[in-house]
Structure 1
Amino acid sequence: MSGLGRTRSVGLTGVAGFLVEAEAHVTNGLPGFAIGGLGDSAVSQSPGRIRAAASAVGLPASQRRVIVNLSPAGVRKVGAGFDLAVFVAVAVAMQKVPQALVHDVVHLGELGLDGSVRPVPGVLPAVHAAALAGVRHAVVPVANAAEAGLVPGIRVHPVAHVAELVDRYDRLSRGRPLDEVAVPPPAPVASETPKDLAEVMGQSEAKLALEIAAAGGHHLLLAGPPGAGKTMLAERLPGILPPLDAAESMEVTAIHSVLGVLGDDVRLLTRPPFVAPHHGASMAAVIGGGSGRVRPGAITQAHRGVLFLDETPEFDKAVLQSLRTPLERGTVTIARANEAVSFPARFQLVLAANPCPCGNGWGRGADCTCTPMMRRSYFGKLSGPLLDRVDLQVHVQPPGLSMAGHPVGERSELVAGRVAAARAAQHERWRAVLGSERALNADAPGSVLRAVPWRLPAGDVSPLDRSLERGGISLRGYDRSLRVAWTMADLAGRQRPGRDDVDLALSLRGSVGAAA
């Protein structure tokens, strides 16, 4: 007796899915179970799980010689999510399940020794990839059904046990009605109440910088003494950013699915994420990686949102320097000896720093216990190429008693309205030039801003020219100041920036590290 069975599954490279064909060949030779196709340790350990699950439905897989191939065989397969597809392929080869019913169906799930089908991470991007490839049916664990149901254009079939799945296929082959498990509807979008900017007293310059950063997609550094409100300001940035569109929402939710942090309240994420790793976080935790499976880091979790590094100089210097490439490219590639995995990482960076290690080096600095060498070393982690990529660098002054009587500032919803209007103007301006529907000023290349028809008059950019000649800014800083000037013009409703916008953009790019 020999037989061949096939069905489909989905593998993940980063957060992108690719179809995998699970082929099983079963013969009466010397009993054994081998899986090929460049799988990781979880895949290589699946024969034991599959043979135990097969015995639960009366399949004598442990008494047969089983050869399984996961195609394409040259692409690495990671995780236990292929268990269910391999089981179905073996069941087809042993004539327990009709081949015609499963050839073009995607099966995802880990098997327990009792035959239960257990949830796996990354179901959302996997099902989404299957739908894009034209697959119309996906069998997933019951616990992943709500997540898979977020993908349009594909029918989701939840399953809790392999016996239940085999029975369904048997009923289908005999034309009998099915008792399908209902897919839980997506959770209603919660009425999230973002933290309000009006709660921050004073800090008019820092609030202006926050609004400019939100409108143009610029990176921001807030430097000031402890308790000045740096963290409060950073936490309110997502509240003035526009909501994610449909494509961005699916992209961000897929990342959270791969990380396994969607939780029980499964729904598409519509607000920009806010990620704030601890300053003791490792390179793998911030950038991505790991000793085994390559996992996304904090910069990928913050994709389309905000990455906030509080106490930035306390981070490892190598971690901070590794942010430079993702800030420019919007992606990060983790290279290993046998693979290279790319993750999306287009985020807004917000840095916060004290004036010195002890935090008292502001004003007269009478209470500061830091030596000049300690202060230089502290801010040395923020100097050079990383700081040159931060468009806005603002000193946050400590609030005084006089601020207690100040009127309440603008609410986030008012600021968000101006930000949305400014972004709409940018989308319209750069749509044809950059070929993107949602391009911002931060995305505009310097070569475009310095060329006709976007080049500003010589008199308007003379402050930037003088600063460049004196070495006060680099050419990258020159271009980033131009982008900030364009954003300020958009917030004011003007067609082009003027001399005042350029002056303010240059002043907001002051060297915080040098001043400290």
Structure 2
Amino acid sequence: MLVKTYGSAVYGIHATTITIEVNVFPGVRFSLVGLPDNAVKESQQRIDSALREVGYKIPGKKIIINMAPADIRKEGSAYDLPLAIGILTATEQISCDKLEKFVIMGELSLDGSLVPIKGVLPMAIQAREEGFEGLILPKANAREAAVVNKLKIYGADNISEVIGFLKGDAEIKPTEVDTRAEFYAHLNKFPHDFADVKGQENVKRALEIAAAGGHNIIMIGPPGAGKTMLAKRIPGILPPLSLQEALETTKIHSVAGTLEKDSSLITQRPFRSPHHTISDVALVGGGTYPQPGEISLSHNGVLFLDELPEFKRTVLEVMRQPLEDRSITISRAKFTVDYPASTMLISSMNPCPCGYYNHPEKDCLCAPGMVQKYLSKISGPLLDRIDIHIEVVPVTFDKISDTQLSEKSEEIRARVEHARQIQEERFKEEEGMHCNAQMSSKLLRKYCQPDEAGNALLKTAMEKVGLSARAYDRILKVSRTIADLAGSENIESDHLAEAIQYRSLDRDGWGG
């Protein structure tokens, strides 16, 4: 008897429906074809144990299973449940006439319970697009899939519940999530606030500009100056995620398996802070079976690289293309996977190995030339892609001991949101563009034309500091954001002057 069940395979952040065809003949052989990997091939043992635990078995017959399309590689243990249901139906141990209505996915434990799987959200989106009535999966993944409306999500704890539901002997209540209510309930909850930061007004200003325009920023300063403390508060001043951005971000984390158990929608911008020992594959994504890296997991959020010169050179250099294109393409011999990587890079570093170069009170202990050698660990092309360079100096005792609270993140965020609204209106006809940092050269010429005095100022800065063409573009983008924060339609000389100040690492002789 030939039976078809339906599963799903995830490639990148998109899913493809897999048709599992089970046919039974007289004989004693179990064959699984259609490019399954080792985890799928091993499913026979898990299915056999799980079925015996709930009163069924794989009969001693010739069973041929084809996973179509046969030219796409099937990976992982999430096919256990659809394979088991297909075997039971094809061998007439259960009778079900509604298998074509459901996509079924889940890993089986040896006792028949269902183990959580990865990539559920893209699977649910694809199932809805292809007109399936529902998705049957482990209960721990049900809320994540239920974010997708117009699709019934049935979460089960074990295979016996699924069998009873398909036979019509038992009922599984569909999991429902009010996506908009879930989205707005946790939208503005942040653990860190700029009100806790004493002093550092110039750095806060630079971070506000970075948040308003989506610009990359690097902070240079001695240990204990507050670089990490400031970076952790950046998500609190960024505009809240839109519902579309939240869904896109959740899809990436669903594929990577980083969503918490029983979670549904990511409602806050991601903040990822990998250790400096990270490999280049872990940062940008990849592997034998490609997975998203940290730069994709921080999509629509913040990627914070603390102690930037301590990262391996190869790790930093692989970031150059994703920072420019805001996406990462991972190519293998037989397929190519694209992951979004529109992230805001926040980095910090000490000015030298001992950390006290340019310190107002402590002397630098580094040998001559060590400061420049330390800074040269970060290549010029990478620094060019960082829009804002800001020096962080230690806070004085008077400011640390001051009991008066600083400006709250909420107040800064209001200004940032206003500037972003101006940019949304400006780029409303440009697909996928939301902020000034994403502007192309063509849009720069259209929206970032300085006046005659501004042009003279830029010419002087480029000749004196020796800026590259990319640094010139970055200055124009930052000055456009400063003008937006000021509510100015045109870029004025003072906006350009402030933007030029935020290129401290481009200065000839900086660091000795």
Partner residue of 1:147? 144
Question: 1:102 Cα deviation (Å)?
Answer: 0.5
Please tell me whether residue 297 in structure 1 is matched to residue 293 in structure 2.
yes
Shift of 1:331: 1.5
Which ranges of structure 1 fall in alignment gaps of 5 or more residues?
A: none
For the structure 1 residues 267 and 142, does the alpha-carbon distance in structure 2 shift closer, same or farther, using more than 3 Å as the test? Answer: closer
Question: Aligned partners of 2:124 and 2:487: how far apart in 1?
Answer: 43
Distance 1:326 1:132 in 2: 30
Does residue 180 of the first structure (1) align with residue 172 of the second (2)? yes
In 2, Cα distance between equivalents of 1:364 and 1:215: 31
Q: How many pairs are equivalent?
A: 504
- Bigger Cα displacement from structure 2, 352-361 vs 395-404: 395-404
Match runs of 1:21-40 below 5 Å: 21-29=19-27, 31-40=28-37
Deviation at 1:457, TM superposition (A): 2.6
Partner of 1:464: 458
Gaps of 5+ in 2: none
Q: Distance in 2 between matches of 1:480 and 1:357?
A: 28
Match of 2:67 in 1: 70
Contact 1:317 1:381 in 2 (8 A): yes
In structure 1, the partner of 2:510 is 515
- Amino acid corresponding to residue 18 of structure 2 in structure 1: V
How far residue 383 of structure 1 moved from its aligned partner, in angstroms, is 2.9
Q: Name which of 332, 356, 372 aligns with 2:328.
A: 332
Call closer, same or farther: CA 1:370–1:420 in 2, change over 3 Å.
same
- How far apart in 2 are the matches of 1:339 and 1:113? 33
CA deviation profile, 1:251-290 (whole Å, cap 9, x unmatched): 2122222232322351311111111111111223222223
The equivalent residue for 1:17 is 15
Q: How does 1:216-365 map to 2 (within 5 A)?
A: 216-264=213-261, 266-290=263-287, 292-363=288-359
Contact 2:10 2:16 in 1 (8 A): yes
Counterpart CA distance in 1 for 2:113 and 2:401 is: 63
Q: Distance in 2 between matches of 1:364 and 1:268?
A: 47
Cα deviation, 1:174-229, whole Å, max 9, x if unaligned, reads: xx6x4324637579644723411121111121111100000000000000011111
Counterpart pick for 2:434 among 408, 425, 439: 439
SS at match of 1:202: coil
> Normalised by the size of structure 2, how large is the TM-score?
0.92
Alpha-carbon separation, structure 1, partners of 2:218 and 2:346 = 6
Question: Equivalent residue for 2:495?
Answer: 501
Deviation at 1:98, TM superposition (A): 4.5
Q: Aligned pair in 2 of structure 1 residues 217, 57: CA closer, same or farther (>3 Å)?
A: same
Describe the shift of the 1:461–1:91 C-alpha distance in structure 2 as closer, same or farther (beyond 3 A). farther
User: Aligned match of 2:422 in 414, 422, 425?
Assistant: 425
Cα offset, 1:23, TM superposition: 1.1
The reply on whether 1:135 has 2:129 as its aligned counterpart is no
Write the distance in 1 (CA, Å) between the matches of 2:161 and 2:442. Answer: 62
Give the distance between the partners of 1:456 and 1:512, measured in 2 at CA.
21
Q: Write the deviation string for residues 98-126 of structure 1: whole angstroms up to 9, x where unpaired.
A: 56401131001011223222211222222
Q: Secondary structure at the match of 1:307?
A: strand
Mean Cα deviation higher: 418-427 or 106-115: 106-115
SS in 2 for 1:459: helix
SS in 2 for 1:156: strand
Tell me whether 152-161 or 400-409 shows the greater mean CA deviation.
400-409
8 Å Cα contact 1:468-1:475 kept in structure 2: no
RMSD over aligned CA atoms reads 2.3
1:19-168 paired onto structure 2 within 5 Å: 19-29=17-27, 31-56=28-53, 59-98=56-95, 100-168=97-165
Deviations 1:356-400 (A, max 9, x none): 111122237863232234322321122311000000000011112
**Identity across matched positions, percent:** 38
CA contact 2:103–2:136 (8 Å) conserved in 1: yes
Equivalent pair of 1:395/1:512 in contact (CA under 8 Å): no
Query: What is the distance in 2 between the residues matched to 1:51 and 1:33?
Result: 12
Separation of aligned partners in 1, 2:491 and 2:191: 31
Alpha-carbon spacing, 1:487–1:383, altered in 2? closer, same or farther (3 Å): same
Letter paired with 1:443: Q
Q: Residue 342 of structure 1: SS of its match in structure 2?
A: strand
Task: Verify the 8 A CA contact 1:244 1:271 in the aligned structure 2.
Answer: yes
1:350-429 map, 5 Å: 350-363=346-359, 367-404=363-400, 407-429=404-426
Say which is worse superposed, 498-507 or 42-51, in terms of deviation: 42-51
